[in-house]
Chain A
Amino acid sequence: MSELTGITLSRARDLLTKGEVSSKELTQAHVQAVEAARSLNAYITETPDKALKMAEASDARRAKGEAGVVEGIPLAVKDLFCTEGVLTTAGSHILDGFKPPYESTVTGNLWRNGAVMLGKANLDEFAMGSSNETSYHGPVENPWRRQGDNRPLVPGGSSGGSAAAVAARAALAATGTDTGGSIRQPASFAGIVGMKPTYGRCSRWGIVAFASSLDQAGPMTRSVRDAAIMLRAMAGHDEKDSTSVDLPVPDYEQALTGDIRGLKVGIPREYRVEGMPQEIEALWQQGIQWLKDAGAEPVDISLPRTHYALPAYYIIAPAEASSNLARYDGVRFGLRAEGAGSLEELYELTREAGFGREVKRRVLIGTYVLSAGYYDAYYNKARKVRTLIAQDFHDAYKEVDVILAPTAPSAAFAIGDLVDDPIAMYLNDVFTVPASLAGLPAISVPAGLSGDGLPLGLQLIGKAFDEETVLRVGGVLEDAAQFTHEPAFVAGR
Chain B
Amino acid sequence: MKQLALVIDLNVCVGCHACVTSCKEWNTSGTAGSLSDFNPYEEDPTGTFFNRVQTFEIGEYPNTETVHFPKSCLHCEEPPCVPVCPTGASYKREEDGIVLVDYDKCIGCKYCSWACPYGARELDENQKVMKKCTLCVDRIYDETLPEAERKPACVLACPTSARLFGDVKDADSVVSETIRENGGYQLMPEWGTKPANHYLPRRKTRLTIHEDELTRVDNPLNKERQLPMPDEDEQTLDDVMSW
Partners in one complex: no
